[in-house]
Structure 1
Amino acid sequence: MRRTKMLKLGVLLLFALSTSVNSQCFYKDDSAKKPDPAARSSLYKNQLEFTLNLFNTINNAVPDDNIFFSPFSVYHALLLGYFAAGGQTEKSLKESLRISDTMDKVNLLMAYKVDKRSRAFNNNSDSYEFTNANKMFVDKELHLRQCLLDLLGEELETLNFRQSPEQSRQYINNWVSRITKNNIKDLIPVDGIMDTTKLVLANAAYFKGVWAYKFPAERTKKQVFFVSETRQTLVPFMRQKGIFHYTVSDDLGAQILELPYKGNDISMYILLPPYSMKEGVSNIIANLTPERLSAVVEESYMGREVVVEIPKFTIERHLPLRSILNTMGVGDLFNSSADFSTLSDDHGIVFDDAVHKAKIQVDEEGTVAAAATAIFGFRSSRPAEPSVFIANFPFVYIIYERPTNSVLFMGVYRDPKK
């Protein structure tokens, strides 16, 4: 019996070099901060706002290419940077990460830890697997503040960057490879770690899900995918007919199909613009607000019979995040004025680069799928049954975790040949 795989992974790396900083920890008295019962829900809300802003920024940077990344991975890596930052760097990161003015670091850190423990406890390998890991790899000669050692001990690991930069690079790459089940390899390029490197912030995320309703392998056939009005190519399409959540959103300008994974906590949502709308994908991304996304995933619309045809594909993408994050307003994160005084009293730490690599495989067994209807008109009345959802031109797809309102992975499928 043929074994098929579906997986999505994302990894974010931030390299740090040495310059100058000031000094501070969290607060004069961390224990004076009152517990905020809404901290965890606030964390998810902030993360979603950041996610959609990041998606739009990436699409603007590569408007004609396939996109696949893990906003969850990016956010959590930057969150570690925020915990380590001070002064203006902390302020800029707080704004970029959409952290509310009323949320202090103590409560945010506690929310982060509760979420981490909850994910470790609830990861049901019988239904799906989602693994997320964060690390601050620090040079062993860096003098770390005791507060972060106490609070983030599991996330901190020392390496000998100064004397063994290449060995340190291989160690981090092996860590990433292990977390992502050997799907993301050689993340940090040769010479990516130097003897002046002081800190690498890393996050690795891995997801493997099985469709709640698998696509029969014998129905997979090659058919035309319309890359544009003037270019088309043949790709294998998976096919099935079943009861799915399907709707039309006038606000987003898209047909929307939900493909749940086994366990029903995580689903893939495919957002398909009209074939006649040349900028349909970009319009969807630009109009995708937290409120509109919530309306899509929380709407209790009835299931209906739908004929579904979506491409079978594998995509691996490497994103140069430094320019993207600068566009999003991360402040002086990559400048010599960067302040990481919460991490160390040593003369400063500056981020040299930010790298994100993600991979997805979609097949009959499960995980990421995309779909679009060839000819489509918006209407509010119930369409004739069965509805037909054929993803044979560019579309947006989102892997969404319902219990935490988190977007784990997202992308745009534009061109099978890229």
Structure 2
Amino acid sequence: MEAQQSAGMSDLAARLTKRLADPYSDRNLVFSPLSIYVVLALLAAGARGKTLEEILRALGALSRRELEDSVARLLDGPLRDRSSEPGGSGPSVAFACGVWSDLTQLLKPAFRDAVVGRYRAEASSVDFRNDLKQAVRQIDAWAAAATGNLIQSAVPPGAVHRKTRLVLANAIYFRGKWDVPFYESSTKNRPFYRQDGTAVDVPFMSNYDRHLIAEHDGFKVLKLRYKSGARYMSMCIFLPDARDGLASLLDKITSSSPAGFLREHLPNSKVSTGKFGVPKFELSFDSSLDGVLNDLGLLIDADLSEMLED
């Protein structure tokens, strides 16, 4: 079951990446497949007929119950906050879902039960029709509280209006310490090469320890572990050998079974490194996924009639 969940999420991530990479090839791209997976699972709780079938197929699940169990395993496993566990060295994790309906239309009892009881989401009513600004402030305040004020605005301009009847949102916050730390005194500026061939000097973190690295045909993979107690959590960086090789590397990752590709190519042994550096970076990205999800065969003439009372 967990392998099927991993495969479903990896496949969704690969399909989204392929759709987003080309139109945004001239800028940084960052998104959370996990967040999109969970929001689509929330939609499934209120969908029926062909729409429900499409969502289940896209997420690699056979039923709503299977989706609920998958999300529950995530909440009780990788998404559990570990900062307050003995030793206090585990990552700080916050993962929250919210559903806001307009005051004029209440959530159907079965949908509310699924949202609150099984997905552990917040369910509230706001006044989109008569006080749109206050409704947006309430949703933004929820996102800020859930992410330690890292996300100040969860509602992009123009995303909701006075005819909006329902908003579903997800927010995730993660802060962890490296298992092998990088020291500020070792951070030096080095050239970072971009897709267009130009270079810019950026701070590179470095240390002199052994690291989990795998070399493959045309690319390398670095696995940086976080301090996380009994179960390791990691950041994995895929680096093409060629400076213009990112597009071909994405094709390799997304052309077959993404979950299988990742399993087969992640490093499992440490090697000594000489000149080793990882760039410090801060990424931001915003985009509408409506067209992308439609391209994937989702939410076209969607039947979401199990969400709201008539």
TM-score clears 0.5? yes
Point out the more displaced range, 208-217 or 51-60.
Answer: 51-60
Structure 2 partner of 1:109: 68
How many Å separate the matches in 2 of 1:262 and 1:56? 32
Shift of 1:49: 1.5
Does 1:206 pair with 2:173? yes
Does 1:326 pair with 2:283? no
Letter in 2 for 1:72: L
Does 1:257 pair with 2:216? no
The answer on whether the counterparts of 1:52 and 1:290 sit within 8 Å (CA) in structure 2 is: no
Letter in 1 for 2:43: G
How many Å separate the matches in 2 of 1:258 and 1:119? 17
Structure with greater proportional strand content: 1
The answer on whether the counterparts of 1:61 and 1:324 sit within 8 Å (CA) in structure 2 is: no
* RMSD, aligned CA: 2.2
Structure 2 partner of 1:357: none
With normalisation by structure 2, the TM-score equals 0.87
Structure 2 partner of 1:293: 262
Structure 2 partner of 1:368: none
User: What are the Cα deviations for residues 8-43 of structure 1, in whole angstroms up to 9, with x where unaligned?
Assistant: xxxxxxxxxxxxxxxxxxxxxxxxxxxxxx3x5433
Letter in 1 for 2:215: V
Structure 1 partner of 2:205: 238
- The equivalent position to 1:77 in structure 2, one of 32, 36, 39, is 39
Residue 228 and residue 92 in structure 1: after superposition, are their counterparts in 2 closer, same or farther (change >3 A)? closer
Structure with greater proportional helix content: 2
In structure 2, stretches of 5+ residues that fail to align are none
Residue 140 and residue 118 in structure 1: after superposition, are their counterparts in 2 closer, same or farther (change >3 A)? farther
Structure 2 partner of 1:181: 148
Shift of 1:292: 0.9
Larger RCO (CA under 8 A, 6+ residues apart): 1
- The equivalent position to 2:97 in structure 1, one of 121, 125, 134, is 134
Local SS of the residue matching 1:233? strand
User: What are the Cα deviations for residues 241-265 of structure 1, in whole angstroms up to 9, with x where unaligned?
Assistant: 2111111123xx3111111111262
Aligned-pair identity in percent equals: 24
Local SS of the residue matching 2:272? strand
Point out the more displaced range, 110-119 or 202-211.
Answer: 110-119
How many Å separate the matches in 2 of 1:188 and 1:122? 25
- The equivalent position to 1:149 in structure 2, one of 112, 116, 122, is 112
How many Å separate the matches in 1 of 2:260 and 2:157? 43
The answer on whether the counterparts of 1:225 and 1:233 sit within 8 Å (CA) in structure 2 is: yes
Letter in 2 for 1:130: V
Shift of 1:119: 5.2
- The equivalent position to 2:4 in structure 1, one of 42, 46, 59, is 42
Structure 1 partner of 2:285: 317
Structure 2 partner of 1:62: 24
How many Å separate the matches in 1 of 2:242 and 2:80? 43
How many Å separate the matches in 2 of 1:54 and 1:65? 16
Q: How many residues align?
A: 295
In structure 1, stretches of 5+ residues that fail to align are 1-37, 347-418
Residue 331 and residue 320 in structure 1: after superposition, are their counterparts in 2 closer, same or farther (change >3 A)? closer
How many Å separate the matches in 1 of 2:13 and 2:127? 34
Matches within 5 A, 1:12-27: none
How many Å separate the matches in 2 of 1:92 and 1:60? 25
How many Å separate the matches in 2 of 1:86 and 1:229? 46
Residue 119 and residue 216 in structure 1: after superposition, are their counterparts in 2 closer, same or farther (change >3 A)? closer
Shift of 1:107: 3.3
How many Å separate the matches in 2 of 1:331 and 1:192? 17
Local SS of the residue matching 2:273? strand
Local SS of the residue matching 2:201? strand
With normalisation by structure 1, the TM-score equals 0.66
User: What are the Cα deviations for residues 223-282 of structure 1, in whole angstroms up to 9, with x where unaligned?
Assistant: 2222257522211122222111111123xx311111111126211111111135x2x111
How many Å separate the matches in 1 of 2:133 and 2:157? 8
